């Protein structure tokens, strides 16, 4: 069973070309990554794209996204297979009041866009961490233009512990299981905690982890987890040069099997990014759901 893993974050053309070569899926923000979207379309990979509104990133700069400009952009690119509604973000303060306000605002935006985009079936509604659960039930159970959504997005929360996210996702899927729409596909935004993705029946997810790790001198390995390899951190106790001999031999074997060398990964951040891409795709291609059977008894994969 494969998993639909979307790679997010802008990077060098060489790395994007490698993502294309490996058949990877790509998430771009329409706010500041339109050049990347255009390049993937021009290269013939529009069917692998997932377009985000960019509301989350601009909210942290005190800005907003113009919904009509966003709609015009989407309508001018009919080959985009999936795009996200313009959600409202409770920034800088998240509390019960702002969460409810943003839930209502996001729902209004969803209905507004649904009426105006030329591909309404490609529009993804969103539910965010901290919002009233009634907002999720509304998304799941409301027919728009006579149909229930077949694909929804779930926003995580940066800085929240894995245990808290675990409880959050358990509640999410319990609600889905009891809804009028138990077969809906679910996308996890900005979250690639593999343990959680294997514990709950997500259809897809996106993250910049592959990018952040590589730029900061790390690789994500199957055998040893996250390992620091950059020569700039060679004195770090977590550096591959400092691990016990037996563990280092295991690490070097995995690196060599993927077609790299430790010296290469120590000095070339693009090589680290490609290595992380390989590791992520290997996980996605061999994905196995390990969670409760009740959550998948009536779902489609």
Tell me the β-bridge partners of 228.
218, 239
pLDDT at position 264 is 96
Percent of the chain residues topping a pLDDT of 90: 74
**Residue 126 · residue 153 · CB < 8 Å:** yes
Q: What is the mean pLDDT of the chain?
A: 92
CATH class held by domain 4-207: alpha beta
Count other C-beta atoms under 10 Å from residue 259's C-beta.
Answer: 11
Q: Report yes or no on whether pTM surpasses 0.75.
A: yes
Q: What is the mean pLDDT of residues 63-78?
A: 96
pLDDT in tens, 276-289: 999 999 999 999 99
Higher pLDDT, 240 or 27: 27
Query: Residue 181: is its pLDDT beyond 80?
Result: yes
Residues 49-71, mean pLDDT to the nearest whole number: 92
Q: What is the pLDDT of residue 1?
A: 53
Q: What is the pLDDT of residue 301?
A: 43
Q: Looking at residue 147, what is its pLDDT?
A: 94
The predicted-structure confidence for 227-261, as pLDDT tens digits, reads as follows 999 988 777 777 887 778 888 899 999 999 999 99
CATH 3.20.20.105 in the chain is located at 4-207
User: And the tokens for 49?
Assistant: 């794209």
pLDDT band at 300; cut points 50, 70, 90: very low
> With the C-alpha atoms ordered 203, 151, 209, 90, is the resulting torsion angle positive or negative?
negative
Mean pLDDT of 71-99: 93
pLDDT reported for residue 56: 87
Strand partners, 25: 6
The dihedrals phi and psi of 23, each to the nearest 5 degrees, come to: 75, 25
All residues at 6 or more sequence positions from 29 whose CB lies less than 8 Å from its CB, including other chains: 51, 52, 53, 54, 57
Res 72: pLDDT: 98
Q: Which of 122, 128, 104 is nearest to 185 (CA)?
A: 122
Tokens 């209502």 appear where? Answer: 104
Q: What is the pLDDT of residue 269?
A: 96
Q: What is the pLDDT of residue 295?
A: 81
For 183-192, the pLDDT digits (tens) are 999 999 988 7
* The pLDDT of residue 292 is above 60: yes
pLDDT at 157: 67
Check whether 143 has a pLDDT greater than 50: yes
CB 258 within 8 A of CB 278: yes
Which residues lie below 8 Å from residue 251, measured CB to CB, with a gap of 6+?
221, 223, 224, 227, 240, 243, 262
pLDDT of 158 reads 66
pLDDT tens column, 149-168? 999 999 876 677 889 889 99
Question: What's the CA gap between 25 and 44, in Å, rounded?
Answer: 13
pLDDT tens, 105-140? 999 999 999 999 999 999 999 999 889 999 999 999
Q: What are phi and psi of 127, to 5 degrees?
A: -125, 135
């Amino acid at each position: 069973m494969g998993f639909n893993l979307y790679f997010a974050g802008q990077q060098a053309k060489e790395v994007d070309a490698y993502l294309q070569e490996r058949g990877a899926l790509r998430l771009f923000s329409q706010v500041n990554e339109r050049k990347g979207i255009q390049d993937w379309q021009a290269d013939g990979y529009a069917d692998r794209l997932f377009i985000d509104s960019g509301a989350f990133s601009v909210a942290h700069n005190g800005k907003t996204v113009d919904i009509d400009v966003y709609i015009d952009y989407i309508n001018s690119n009919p080959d985009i297979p999936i795009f996200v509604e313009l959600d409202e973000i409770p920034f800088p303060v998240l509390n019960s009041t702002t969460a409810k306000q943003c839930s209502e605002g996001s729902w209004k935006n969803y209905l507004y866009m649904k009426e105006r985009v030329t591909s309404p079936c490609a529009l993804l509604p969103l539910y965010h961490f901290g919002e009233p659960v009634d907002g999720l039930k509304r998304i799941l159970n409301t027919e728009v233009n006579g149909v229930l959504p077949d694909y929804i997005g779930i926003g995580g929360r940066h800085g929240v512990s894995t245990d808290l996210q675990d409880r959050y996702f358990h509640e999410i899927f319990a609600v889905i299981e009891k809804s009028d729409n138990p077969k809906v596909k679910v996308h996890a935004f900005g979250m690639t905690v593999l343990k959680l993705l294997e514990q709950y029946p997500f259809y897809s997810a996106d993250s910049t982890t592959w990018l952040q790790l590589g730029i900061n001198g790390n690789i994500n390995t199957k055998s040893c987890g996250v390992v620091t390899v950059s020569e700039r951190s060679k004195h770090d106790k977590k550096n591959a040069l400092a691990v016990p001999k037996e563990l280092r031999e295991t690490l070097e074997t995995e690196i060599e099997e993927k077609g790299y060398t430790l010296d290469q990964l120590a000095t070339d951040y693009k090589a680290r990014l490609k290595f992380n891409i390989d590791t992520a795709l290997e996980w996605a291609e061999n994905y196995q759901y390990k969670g409760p059977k009740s959550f998948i008894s009536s779902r489609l994969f």
